[in-house]
Amino acid sequence: MPNLSQWRAARGRQALYSALRRFFAAHGYLEVETPLLVPAPGMEPHINAFEAGFIPETDVGRARTLYLHTSPEYAMKRLLADGAGPLFQICKVFRNGEVSPTHNPEFTMLEFYRPQADYHGIMADLEGALAEAGRSATEGEPGADPAFFTRTPYERLTVRDAVLRATGVDIREHADGPSLKRAAEAVGVRTGDAEAFDDVFFHLFLQKVETGLGHERPTFLIEYPASMAALSRLKPGDPAVAERVELYAKGLELANGFSELTDPTEQRTRLVEEQELRRRLGRSVYPLDERFLDAVGRMPPSAGIAVGLDRILMLLLGVQRISDVLLFPAHEFV
């Protein structure tokens, strides 16, 4: 049976969704709904999808593996390519194996995209949406600070400057993994057997940088190293960094977005590389989504971002565990 805090969270969730829908409607966004069950999930190396067998009753030979989506990104970009204009979605997403005080394998995501925008534009829209949510928040736990999200403008901080501020290490001075590993270990980072630049960076970031982000006001962390571009484009004039952004508040990651890559050849190359990395890590290797790749080449210049709404709600209500904002948290049965 849900406790008092969970009922309070249910009312807070209703207020949060209403505020977000009000903001996006006022700014010309269309709310859409895309399938939860998809032929190909995201290819991120460290995110695992739930598999579901599709077995047609009249033709067992057509059985195939489908997946619960880890993000609505592929489908929403197909809509962008077809001329949908600004669009948003609030939906359930699924990530296998993620259970912790801040992770639930089924959680709620806000994802939105705006054509003819870059990462600066999408940051401005998210800042406005969360400020509206902060102004509309319901009563939380003692000590809750819903006005936190109204403290605009949010901080903009490059990844390079964030690492430099926290550790004194300038990642631009370290071109490869071994060099960064030596610098990280010199400031007390435990890197284990990590050798690749990205792997060493994440040890450095998680141990020394992340927990210090976004305490006075939310912080947009921008311009990741190009090797971490994911689905983002590289910055014109500075291809060493990608136009990628994450939002942090009180040391907690809340959102991940990009100026979107619109080169289908480059997108295919990156996805194939991620397939190979998944194979080396011993993880399931997912198929390429050819409809998505076709859409990438037809998309207008755009920016988009995905936001974890359960974590937003945690901060609005002043609770420490994601289970406190869920009526039926996964730890009840897994």
Q: What is the pLDDT of residue 141?
A: 82
Distances (CA, A) of 326 to 14, 15, 252: 12, 15, 18
Q: Is residue 181 part of a domain?
A: no
Helices (H), the chain: 4-26, 73-81, 119-135, 159-167, 177-186, 197-204, 264-280, 290-296, 309-317
Q: What is the pLDDT of residue 117?
A: 98
What pLDDT tens digit does each residue of the chain (334 aa) get?
A: 677 788 899 999 999 999 999 999 999 999 999 999 999 998 998 899 999 988 887 776 778 899 999 999 999 999 999 999 999 999 999 999 988 999 999 999 999 999 999 999 999 999 999 999 999 988 788 888 989 999 999 999 999 999 999 999 999 999 899 999 999 999 999 999 999 999 999 999 999 999 999 999 999 999 999 999 888 999 999 999 999 999 999 999 999 999 999 999 999 999 999 999 999 989 999 999 999 999 999 999 999 999 999 999 999 999 999 999 999 999 888 7
**What is the amino acid identity at position 274?**
E
Task: Give yes or no for a contact between 260 and 73, defined as CB atoms under 8 angstroms apart.
Answer: no
User: Whole-model pTM?
Assistant: 0.94
Q: Is residue 100 part of a domain?
A: yes
Q: Of all helices (H) and strands (E), which one includes residue 253?
A: strand 252-259
Rounded Cα distance, 106 and 93, in Å = 6
Task: Give yes or no for a contact between 158 and 223, defined as CB atoms under 8 angstroms apart.
Answer: yes
Q: Is residue 301 part of a domain?
A: yes
Query: Which residue in this structure is represented by tokens 């988009």?
Result: 304
**In the chain, how many domains are there?**
1
CB under 8 A, 24+ apart: contacts of 97-100: 97/48, 99/330, 99/331, 99/334
Task: Give yes or no for a contact between 66 and 54, defined as CB atoms under 8 angstroms apart.
Answer: yes
Rounded Cα distance, 242 and 233, in Å = 6
Q: What is the pLDDT of residue 53?
A: 87
Token pair in block for residue 321: 């565990």
Q: Is residue 192 part of a domain?
A: no
CA 333 to chain CA mean position, Å: 26
Domain that residue 328 falls in = 4-50+65-154+288-332
Rounded Cα distance, 199 and 183, in Å = 14
Tell me, what DSSP letter sits at residue 80?
A: H
Q: Which residues contact 108 (CB under 8 A, 6 or more apart)?
A: 90, 91, 92, 93, 308, 309, 310
Give the closest residue to 29 by CA, choosing from 91, 93, 115, 109: 115
Q: Is residue 182 part of a domain?
A: no
Query: Which residue in this structure is represented by tokens 């730890």?
Result: 331
CATH of residue 108's domain is 3.30.930.10
